[in-house]
Amino acid sequence: MSRSRHVPKPSWVLVLVAFLTFGSILLLNGVVNAEFGNDAEGAGERGPDAAIPAVVTEGGSVLDATHDPVRTISYPAKTIALSFDDGPDPLWTPQILAVLKKHQVPGTFFVLGSQAAQYPQLVRDIRAQGSEIGLHTFTHPDLSRLSESRVERELTLTQFAVAGATGEITYLVRPPYSSRVDALDDEDYDVVQGLGKAGYITALTDFDSRDWERKGVESIVRASTPRDDAGGSLLLHDAGGERSQTVAALDRLIPQLKAQGWTFATTSGAVGLPSANHRATTFDVVAGNVLLAATAFSTGAVRVLEWCLLIVGGLVVLRLLLMLVVAGRQKRRTERQARDPNRPVYTRPVSVIVPAYNEKECIEQTVRSIAAGDHPVEIIVVDDGSTDGTSDIVERMAMPNVRLIRQPNSGKPAALNTGIAAARHEVIVMVDGDTVFETSTVRLLVQDMVDPQVGAVAGNAKVANRNSLVAKWQHIEYVMGFNLDRRVYDEWRCMATVPGAIGAFRKSALRQVGGVSEDTLAEDTDLTMALSRAGWRITYVEGSRAWTEAPGTFAELWRQRYRWSYGTIQSMWKHRSAVTAKGASGHFGRVGLLNIALFQVLLPLLAPLVDVFLIYGLFFLDPWVTLAAWGAVQVIQLLSAVYAFRLEKEKLGVLWLLPLQQIVYRQLMYAVLIRSMVTAITGIRLRWQKLRRTGDFGGAPAAVGPKPLPPSVEVYTGAFQAVRPGGAQGAGPARTGAPPRAVTPPGSFRR
């Protein structure tokens, strides 16, 4: 019996590959650029142990453990090797090389592999000037605390970096935190012996400039000057901190010692060893070039990400300013208009369309809440091929002013168009079948329709089922996200979405743009964009509240937001020509679409960097600075949330969940947007996904509607006729830059 194999979807494969690649880039960059471990200080004075032979502790500072017993080599009298640890550094190494060139003396640079991989040209400059290269490990760890395999990796990677930069390798090693031979302990000696077995010669120090203490140029010169004529190696640093004192001290020390008869040489040259640097094998050079290329790519990529992080910070601050200025201004303006005693009142009846597909859990509460309102309405329920008895429930309710239209399953846009064609009134309210209204919802919603320039009005969608953690997070998102954005869009006259849960439309405006389009999965966003481009003004009314049942599980939430996100991307692509259009269409494109691109696409795509760099910074950067920066972003988010909740007079108690929302809920939204982008790029066609409903409206203060009256339900079972452009006359602005039919981008959104 054959078994079917599960093949991952292309979008998931791309996401996984991108995630692994991104993780590898950060890990490599973190190892290369880590700000821990490399403190560029001298060694701890632990003192010799009895197990170390006296010939070692009393011998020279160059230890050759490639043979047994260990051989020590001393420097000749009046001979000094200037050695520099922890580099190369793009600022200080060139200055030190300039001083050496000025005085015609060589040096020995014990490089860190992580630094050499970032600045290979400096390694080449060191060799070109006649100085030699030694190894100082890749990440500056204490080798006595590492396993043999880790020590081998540290040195091998450093050799690769040197080989990639110069085509050479070296046998000289100076372990980090090492000092004089008389300071070796048993653990240090084990490291020396291990290095010898691997073919390395250990070069310790005889004189310590203590430049890492930064006590001044005079102090460094004094510590670097030998007390007698015994030669040796002088420890200095060309990286690991601010080294201007080292540069200045070196410029004074060299001529001073020359005047006293001292000779300067490389470490290998001073003790009579062959040149420390010799030609690398082809494998080492190739491996080194791969390491250098990977390092350059990861460093460049992280630099770009750091700029993106700055952009995120700027967008977060900009959004806060928009909230404080624009949204606050919209709030004050609408309240002032509402208090105006001379403001006209819209009293004419309106048609309320309820598209329904398998809404048995919610449909009765939805219809009753609308019928219980204080504005005259006709209610049109369009059953779009339900199989759960939704239409039977409506029919049994037998409520006045309710019409039921049955049609074969054709999708939500078709159901809405059927309702529009059947509507008797000029103003049409569209409401989802899982939403309930308050008594004043319709009346408040349609008041802006007294202005003939208003083509649509967005209501205030609220989360009704706030019992679960997922629903509470959505409540926060609705208040500080969707509704706050609509205030800004209202003030700037570039509304992008009238929510499907609650919105009023002028019938003539709907006819002008061709009704509700089936081109995208976000028909509400697509329709709103078309109306905005056609020159109609679209407003937002906070007081007109609709209570909708939000997804109660992460799986349901994923399906809903995946559709929303994908549909928004489709709508943006469909109306992309508005960016270069003139008139109202151009205003929407350059203001509305720009806002969506910045705050609904770019910011969510880049916002994960805040959390990524939190983890990155805790491991590879200063953890306290990292936590402070991350905390500042969270404080801004909290201030934004408090302000948004105050605007809508919502209780602040739920905001204690905001930090957890940032850590858990927000990651899901990131994944949804990324998955949607990948789906669009790969050209996968996303289908409509019905969410499971429970009929939980426990948090809604909506009316339940009147008791059933004698039957007056009109049942329609025939074919339906959708609205077509140009079918009726109506007041409104001239069409300016109305959108064309959707054009499918290459490889995307195929019907």
Catalytic residues: 85, 237
Residues 6+ apart with CB under 8 A from 227: none
Q: At what angle do helices 148-166 and 120-128 cross, to 10 degrees?
A: 70
Contact 430, 351 (CB under 8 A): no
For CA atoms 446, 447, 452, 456, the dihedral sign is negative
Amino acid at 137: T
Helices (H) and strands (E) counted in the chain, each on its own, are 28, 21
Element (H, E) at 618: helix 608-620
State the CB neighbour count (10 A cutoff) for residue 58: 11
State the CB neighbour count (10 A cutoff) for residue 319: 23
Give the residue ranges of DSSP H helices in 281-362: 282-322, 328-339
In 3D space, the residue among 596, 460, 452 whose CA is nearest the CA of residue 535 turns out to be: 452
Distance CA 12, CA 23 (A): 16
Which residue carries 């009393």 as its tokens? Answer: 58
Residues in the chain, how many? 751
State the CB neighbour count (10 A cutoff) for residue 218: 12
The DSSP output letter for 5 is P
Which residue carries 């203001």 as its tokens? Answer: 591
In 3D space, the residue among 418, 368, 420, 416 whose CA is nearest the CA of residue 396 turns out to be: 368
Distance CA 278, CA 295 (A): 24
In 3D space, the residue among 722, 735, 351 whose CA is nearest the CA of residue 513 turns out to be: 735
Beta strand residue intervals within 396-555, DSSP E? 402-407, 427-430, 435-437, 454-463, 503-506, 537-548
Residues 6+ apart with CB under 8 A from 750: 683, 685, 744
The phi, psi pair for 34, rounded to 5°, reads: -55, 140
Distance CA 84, CA 75 (A): 17
The DSSP output letter for 178 is -
Element (H, E) at 55: helix 54-57
Contact 507, 728 (CB under 8 A): yes
Residues 6+ apart with CB under 8 A from 97: 125, 126, 129, 131
Contact 263, 80 (CB under 8 A): yes
Give the residue ranges of DSSP H helices in 323-411: 328-339, 363-371, 390-397
Contact 131, 158 (CB under 8 A): no
State the CB neighbour count (10 A cutoff) for residue 642: 14
CA of residue 155 relative to chain centroid, distance = 35
